Amino acid sequence: MGMPANPLQWSIGLVGYGEVGRILAEDLRARGVTNVLAYDIKFGTADDAPLLAHAAHYGVRPMSSHAFLAQAADLVISAVTADQTLAVAVASAPTLKPGAWFLDFNSASPGAKIKAAGMIDGAGGRYVEGAVMTSMPPYRSRVPLLLGGPAAAELAPLLNELGFTARVASEKLGVASATKMCRSVMIKGLEAMVIESFTAARAYGVEDAVVASLYETFPGIDWEKQAAYFFQRVIEHGRRRSEEVREVAATVREAGLTPWSAQGTAERQAWVADLADAGIFGAKGSKEFARSTDWRIEADRILAKVRE
């Protein structure tokens, strides 16, 4: 039996049930997709209770492995940490349905995407790279999405029927991911720079003067609001972001450049993630965790820790 012509009748498998996977699950179910499957490496561990509760609430069927999910899905969406991009392709390829779609949402380098495509296409699937071009939560499934690869033009309108906002960047693999990765040198780097600059300024008692100077130089940016947002996002997602920026560094390296900025950004993001894991910002999952509208509160927590 072939794949249903109407994508709303597809079985859609989500590999990775973190923030992105759960948003996609909610939106796909709301769109009318009846068969949404999910697999996460936390399933079957002590940390799976909130994920399974979410899946049960939204009518998402948990799967016990990559292989079982791939075997049942018409469209697999891989939304995991960047370092797991190839591992998911390796685990999924052997059991993919012939002609099944594999949409790689991961923030990986062009080289990694090309390798993943070789595994999926070689197993009879249809690989399409996807580059999510801004933070997902405000836009949800309608986040700007660049697609790449020989099959991208065929998949784009089908994804848009599912509620996505997808457009084709290129039929050449790596173009979409290169666009995202080069953008991330700036965006993730700015996050790290703001945390480093503002926390150091707070330590010296010159934060108000620094912020005032930035407003004067870049009046179009609300630096107080932006700083609070950057602190929150890195505290909550620094581990995933650091892995992404290591892929950004790989992208820069593949271009023949030494990724000094990206390497430093990855280290700063991972450092903040370590502090979050140590509990200095409160318990993860609590309402207080990284939710302050004043970045100074989080900077003071960092400074208290480093001064111990």
Residue 210's φ and ψ, nearest 5 degrees, are -65, -45
Q: Is 65 exposed, middle or buried (0-12, 13-18, 19+ CB in 10 A)?
A: middle
Per-residue pLDDT at 292: 80
Q: Are 57 and 74 in contact (CB under 8 A)?
A: no
- Residue 169: the pLDDT is 95
Helix (H, G, I), strand (E, B) or coil at 117: helix
pLDDT-derived band at 287 (thresholds 50, 70, 90) equals low
Rounded Cα distance, 159 and 118, in Å: 22
Integer CA distances (angstroms), 101 to 52, 115, 125, 173, 218, in order: 25, 16, 6, 15, 44
Say what the pLDDT of residue 289 is.
Answer: 74
Domains and CATH numbers, the chain: 7-172 (3.40.50.720), 177-306 (1.10.1040.10)
Average pLDDT rounded to a whole number, residues 228-241: 92
d(C-alpha 85, C-alpha 72), whole Å: 20
Q: Provide the 3-class DSSP secondary structure of residue 206.
A: coil
Closest CA to 87 of 45, 46, 28, 39: 39
Query: Letter for the amino acid at 147?
Result: L
Q: What is the per-residue pLDDT across 150-169, written as a single tens digit (0 to 9) for each?
A: 999 999 999 999 999 999 99
Residues 20-62: pLDDT tens digits?
999 999 999 999 999 999 999 999 999 899 999 999 999 999 9
Characterize 106-137 residue by residue with b for buried, 16 or more Cβ atoms within 10 angstroms of its Cβ, and e for exposed.
bbbbbbbbbbbbebbbebebbbbbbbbbeebe
The pLDDT value given to residue 218 = 97
Q: Residue 286: pLDDT band by 50, 70, 90 thresholds? A: low
Contacts (Cβ under 8 Å, ≥6 apart) of 241: 188, 191, 233, 234, 269, 273
